[in-house]
Structure 1
Amino acid sequence: MTVDGTRTLDVVDAVLDASRLSGLLGCDVRADHLRIKPDTSVTVSLADPGTGRSRGWARILWPGGLSKADKTSMSAARRGLLVGWRTLPGGLVLQHGEILADPRLRRPLRQAGGRGLVGGRPEETALRYNPLRRLVLRRDDLVVRVLAEADPLGRDVHDFVSAHVAVPERVDDGADPHLAVLRYTGDSDLGRRPDPRGSRTAGALIAALHRSTDQLPGPLREPLSRRVVDPWRQAEAHAGVLDALDRPLAQRMRALAARALAGLPGPVVLVHGDFSPDQVLTSGDGGVWLTDFDRAHLAPAAADLGSWLMTADEPGVQAFLAGYRDAGGHVPSGPQQRTALAGALLLRAVEPLREARPGWARLVGERLDRLEEVLR
């Protein structure tokens, strides 16, 4: 079993086909998360098709990436870690390994292991794994987040937010910006278990977060103001990947970006930055907590509202807006909500591709269809 060509599309087609990917690796796996650098590399996290449990990572590199593969293999060998690789037609290189040998996470994982926060094989306790970016795993009653890219604001943001809204307790001192350790909290989230009552509480919590902005200390406000999310740059990056996979989809995304990325109304506030039902932890006794503030920044409140409008079901949307309003939040008008929703739809349009879903092209097209309806 091999790849049918050296185009980026050929490689993506191969890794998203579970039988072909399993044939390439010699074990039963499926792709779980996908990262694409056209004509450079395609990286996937691997999962067991039956249990969904992590099985490590794999990447296919173009000929120019051979030195990267060598470096990763040598580093893994020095530490007794499992990494394999083979050449494919056209000079491509397939490399795969265990999570501890992830090329960008191996150093922070080693540091976390030295503190007793990562034991055994992370595949056994991984909750979420985005190769080359982030690993979230459970360690007894703790959740350990290991980041490839340092988050120097992480502890300060958490300390500020925790004074204003319900969040999981953070138990590390923040000295390592590649690491965050939190108390395991709740037993589900609103993505897995939608609940209007929980959505209403989430609305009230986001209103409290937005309302806290005036209390931000200057040393935190200034770097948060520089964490500006450039929607044009993000949309162009997504379209650039689509150029290598489906040119009509890329052209359509660029055309819609010109209409969808109108400026959001309102003054800037502290926003969550990636708000959706799965970022709201819940418990059976009615507890609700917000989590994952690594993309927090200053932006109009509509940024969080648009993200929720895009990802929640209709009962969840209505309950959230009611909770937000009752807690003192200003709910934008209908046209302003559509503007916020349009921006969220555009910036999340390629999620089916990143999530390694085999029908990604159809699903991306459906999101763009929804965006067109919102813009009418």
Structure 2
Amino acid sequence: MNTTLIARRPASIRPSPSIAAKALVTRLRAEGRHIIDLTVGEPDFVTPRSIMEAAQAAMQAGDTYYTPSNGTLALRQAVADKLIRENGLSYGTDEIVVGCGAKQLIQTAFAATLDPGDEVIIPAPYWVSYPDLATLNDGVPVVVPCLEETGFKLSPSQLEATITARTKWVVLNSPNNPSGAVYTAAELAALGEVIERHPRVLVMTDEIYEHFVYDGQSQISFGRAVPALRDRTLVINGVSKAYAMTGWRIGYAAGPRLLAKTMSDLLSQSTTCPSSIGQAAAVRALSGDQTFVVQARATYETRRDRAVELLDAIPGISCKRPAGAFYAYPNVVGLIGRRSPDGIRIADDLALAHHLLSAGNVSVMDGTSYGLSPYLRVSFATSLEAIEAGCAAIARVAATLD
């Protein structure tokens, strides 16, 4: 096909690196290779039975028709109840939008607000899709490196220095994918003080990993820490991570009424509405017994401790203990520049990830894809056996580098 037939915007977008990595693992396994997959960004648990039963009941009751574009009233009310109960945030059902996953809602929020040249401030390391979703909507991603020495967190001085007359959004992700960084209430309040001085700037707070915070700590929503910015804050969340529902594709957003309406109007012209059956399942997830979430958090914490212990023991690698999410983000600077037994130089973390796959049959994500090098993202949303086998493979390959 003639490449000139493809419009400028999609031609500038790269495929999601994490989705591409998962597809590569699937292909290699189909070819007969035994690959240890530590790239996965989804729970390895099965959706709780009570949630599946709610979906089955909805189907049997004939709940298989279009819903409002912003989601069923029942689900929007369940989200509103959840936000007040767990996050201390009060939103009406007309300030909530349900979409086909959190990613769609981020894309739709950008489509609703970005004019050509508007800037989106994105602290790095970042979830791989933020920059591309901004670019897709004619925005300009402005990446701010947040170093390991400062806990991978954006500082108020960095934020102040980065805001310009074209800034439209500041994107905050806590707990963070990939670093696991979790902002405290005081840190969020300090960032909020900066943003308050710039009335045109909106805040997108991605809280999809909120339930996975460890060591007895808990996540604080930006809106609770900075209530003065309620009318400029959009909360992004969903049921994918907390309830092992990645394939159900149900996310939700809560924010200013005008923004919520505009997003709903845009969704009405794209997907029309999320799955009615998935929405019924999400109502049960948010409103039902939360034992599953508590147990999942405890399991992830055990896995985290083991993954960090093993990674940090590998010569050339150092690994800080992530405060949240389900990824370790080990520093691999000690392996960069070394050579493999066949003389190939490991130029960067991307080359290291490729070498680990080819020489060790272990798949991890490179830090380059997340905007900060030299690191690897190692998922512990998998079994202890896979974590131990994968870390052992990394150690074996690292030991061969000269």
User: What TM-score, normalized by structure 2, do the two folds share?
Assistant: 0.25
Higher relative contact order (CA 8 A, sep 6+): 2
User: What TM-score, normalized by structure 1, do the two folds share?
Assistant: 0.26
